[in-house]
């Protein structure tokens, strides 16, 4: 028996270095340099070791590390989209991990709260609503936009994203006191012993997590944004979208009363099970849109037909809104019964008059359309009407007319229609649909 135990001990002794080496090899190594937006960041040897120790510490507890990764793969697509819209470097997504580990209710000793760790005064300054019913610091989309506002405001002064990053922790005044004015606007930064620990910690988080973004969410979830929902309970939303109520609550803790107020548009986070009907329809639709943006000829060949092939009579997402493509069996009554929406609301959502009927092949929205599209312009085709364009891009007919100063229903084929106004420096996407 003793020989048996000695043999086991000997085998373990032999393989332990191999196991250890395998684990260590998974830990990313801090590079000597990398780019943060357009800034070349160079790290000296001693500071590399210091940052590497932080990276190693983040990887030390694999169970905790994977818990954070599980949240990262859920939230990063949403955060990345907001950062892109706001013209903020994408690597700032790691700052959210550093601040809260992507935990909605994370709270610091100084009473900073939420995904981006805002104090009340700062949160309100950057447009977040905080009252008895709502705390938008716990809304991943709203708080990310507020963080972008904070960073852009300070970067206007520094013209250096690393210094703006530091100001997120110290404030503008604090960052001014410890930064080098000669480096304002610089495209090359050196990280050394004099660099503030907050910047080093950020670099460690970026290095630790950036190679693991293919990790799969263990619950098989993805998160989608729904807005233009007002004065409605989360309970009702869960029934309408057939989403588990408790799951919906867990991703919308910003709504303290479980009601969506009617004083402004709040983005609601909808957790969708991957492989579910809505999820697969939406993913197919997104694939088509991407192919359209890459190829004008593909749009010319008919995006509508492809949408029909995907989701006839099934829920798809257009301009961030749930919609269906009607077939010959559809009527106001059948849609009303299937989706629990009154006939009156269906007509209002789709700019329809009382005597109009459902027409096969047309898009019909299950929520009120938006005031603007996600692209800037569209060149009408012969078969288009103002109404069909408003349906194609999910824009209210009255707003489409206002954007283009159209008094009646006339449509010119000689010029592009404006789908949203172009404001430089804000979140408006600068994309055009073309037909020729």
Q: Determine the topology of domain 221-273 in CATH.
A: Membrane-bound Lytic Murein Transglycosylase D; Chain A (3.10.350)
Mean pLDDT of 331-353: 85
Specify which residues 418 forms β-bridges with.
Answer: 377
Pull the structure tokens for residue 336.
């009303």
The model's confidence at residue 303, banded by pLDDT at 50, 70 and 90, is: very low
Greater confidence, 281 or 141? 141
Q: Average per-residue pLDDT in the chain?
A: 82
Report whether 141 contacts 267 (CB < 8 A). yes
CA dihedral 49, 53, 56, 61 (to 10 degrees): 180
pLDDT band at 250 (very low <50, low <70, confident <90, very high): very high
The yes-or-no verdict on residue 170 having pLDDT over 90 is yes
pLDDT digits (tens, 9 = 90+) for 391-426: 988 999 999 999 998 888 778 777 888 888 764 443
**What does the domain layout of the chain look like in residue ranges?**
28-212, 221-273, 277-433
Average pLDDT on 381-387 reads 86
Count of C-beta atoms within a 10 Å radius of residue 282: 21
Supply the pLDDT for residue 294: 42
DSSP string, 80-94: HHHHHHTT--GGGHH
pLDDT of 377 higher than 60: yes
- The phi-psi region of residue 210 (left if phi > 0; otherwise alpha if psi is between -120 and 50; otherwise beta) is alpha
In the chain, % helix, strand, coil (3-state, to 5) comes to: 50, 15, 35
What local confidence, expressed as pLDDT, does residue 228 receive? 62
Closest of 266, 265, 258, 238 to residue 132, by C-alpha: 258
Q: Which residue has the tokens 């694939």?
A: 287
May I ask the CATH class of domain 28-212?
mainly alpha
| Helix residue ranges per DSSP H, 93-196 | 93-100, 120-125, 140-158, 161-178
CB atoms inside a 10 Å sphere around CB 67: 15
- Phi/psi of residue 61, nearest 5 degrees: -105, 95
């Amino acid at each position: 028996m003793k020989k048996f135990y000695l043999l086991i001990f000997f085998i373990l002794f032999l393989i332990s270095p191999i196991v250890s080496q395998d684990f260590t090899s998974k830990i990313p190594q801090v590079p000597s340099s990398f780019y943060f937006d357009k800034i070349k960041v160079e790290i000296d040897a001693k500071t590399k070791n210091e940052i590497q120790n932080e990276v190693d510490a983040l990887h030390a507890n694999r169970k905790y590390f994977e818990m954070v990764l599980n949240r990262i793969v859920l939230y990063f697509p949403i955060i990345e989209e907001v950062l892109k819209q706001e013209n903020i470097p994408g690597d700032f997504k790691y700052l959210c991990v550093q601040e809260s580990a992507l935990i909605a209710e994370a709270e610091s000793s100084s009473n900073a709260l939420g995904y981006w760790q805002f104090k009340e005064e700062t949160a309100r300054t950057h447009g977040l609503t905080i009252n008895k019913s709502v705390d938008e610091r716990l809304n991943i989309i709203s708080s990310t936009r507020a963080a972008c506002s904070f960073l852009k405001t300070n970067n206007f002064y520094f013209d250096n994203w690393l210094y703006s990053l530091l100001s997120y922790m110290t404030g503008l005044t604090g960052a001014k006191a410890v930064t080098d004015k000669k480096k304002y606007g610089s495209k090359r930064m050196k990280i050394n012993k004099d660099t503030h620990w907050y910047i080093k910690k950020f670099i460690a988080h970026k290095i630790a997590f950036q190679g693991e973004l293919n990790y799969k969410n263990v619950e098989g979830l993805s998160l989608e944004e729904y807005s233009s929902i007002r004065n409605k309970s989360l309970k009702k939303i869960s029934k309408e979208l057939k989403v588990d109520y408790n799951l919906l609550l867990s991703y919308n803790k910003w709504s303290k009363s479980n009601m969506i107020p009617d004083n402004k548009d709040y983005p609601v986070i909808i957790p969708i099970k991957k492989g579910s009907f809505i999820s697969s329809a939406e993913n197919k639709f997104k694939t088509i849109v991407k192919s359209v943006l890459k190829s004008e000829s593909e749009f010319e060949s008919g995006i509508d037909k492809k949408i029909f092939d995907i989701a006839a009579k099934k829920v798809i997402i257009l301009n961030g809104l749930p919609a269906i493509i009607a077939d010959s069996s559809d009527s106001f009554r059948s849609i009303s019964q299937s989706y629990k929406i009154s006939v009156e609301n269906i007509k209002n959502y789709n700019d329809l008059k009382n005597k109009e009927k459902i027409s096969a092949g047309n898009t019909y929205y299950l929520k009120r359309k938006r005031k603007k599209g996600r692209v800037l312009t569209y060149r009408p085709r012969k078969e288009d009407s103002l109404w069909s364009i408003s349906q194609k891009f999910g824009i209210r007919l009255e707003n489409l007319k206002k954007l283009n100063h159209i008094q009646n229903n006339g449509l010119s084929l000689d010029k592009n229609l404006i789908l949203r106004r172009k404001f430089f420096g804000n979140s408006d996407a600068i994309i055009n649909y073309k037909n020729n």
